[in-house]
Amino acid sequence: MLTVASWGTTLCTARRSTLADVEIGSVRGRFEMAAIPASAAPAAVERCTRLFGDLFNPVETILATLLSNVNPVAHAAEVLPNLTRIECAEDWPLFRYLTPAAARIAEAIDAERIAIAAAFGLKVRSVHEHTHLSYHVPLATYGEMAAAVHAKVGSPAGPTSFGHRYLVEDVPYGLAFFEAMGRVAAVATPNISGTITVLSSACARDFRSDNPLLEALGVDGMPVAQLLARCRGEAAQGHAWRSG
């Protein structure tokens, strides 16, 4: 049986500077990893450790790694207050404009993500813990941490197009996924849902419809126990997500 390893984030922060060159910003401290089937996780962790080092915290289900993804949280808070900068293609430093007000948006979204995970019996790290491990700055409010990152290592350039991955990837495949998991777990997500709606209006596209996987997988109305079983790779025959 094929084993699929799932990471909660990327190995490092990086940007392509030229077609051939990649600039490594920071190697992350530790992050979550799971596998499908769940029984194959120890072997997957061992292989990834041999390849990349002792960076992985094994978790029992890929749902934990999916809900551990803080990129949609941080990126939504970075783009939402800076939409006109993006639309005008301005040159703006990302962490410099992750101001305390913007950071409070991230913290509100993050609280809902953590509540969703808790409803599934899972514990995920906060955006504060993630930033601490990724950029090696002290724990504080998220606004203070963003300022510390900017002071320590500077800021990458912010998006200059509504076609940037912070919008076209992180909203439908990140925030819309969190929203759907909130419906399954009966957790209210007013900040997540409101952010999706506002960004959809600003970008003149329906970001919820941009994620065809949610409908194809049939997660709406799925019992929590069945979703968790699927995420462990149990009783997953073909595409029979709607069964049961």
* Annotated catalytic residue within 75, 128, 130, 132: 75
226-240 exposure pattern, b = at least 16 Cβ within 10 A, e = fewer? bbbbbbbbeeeeeee
Residue among 94, 221, 211, 235 nearest 159 (CA): 94
- Residues sharing a CB contact under 8 Å with residue 165, sequence separation 6 or more, in sequence order: none
- Residues sharing a CB contact under 8 Å with residue 178, sequence separation 6 or more, in sequence order: 67, 72, 112, 113, 116, 189, 192
* Annotated catalytic residue within 110, 132, 150, 170: 170
Quick check: 105 and 160 in contact, CB under 8 A?
no
Quick check: 128 and 170 in contact, CB under 8 A?
no
C-alpha distances out from residue 230 to 32, 44, 227, Å: 19, 18, 5
**Rg of the chain (C-alpha set):** 18
To the query of whether residue 75 is one of the catalytic residues in this protein, the response is yes
d(CA 86, CA 145): 23
User: Which are the catalytic amino acids?
Assistant: 75, 170
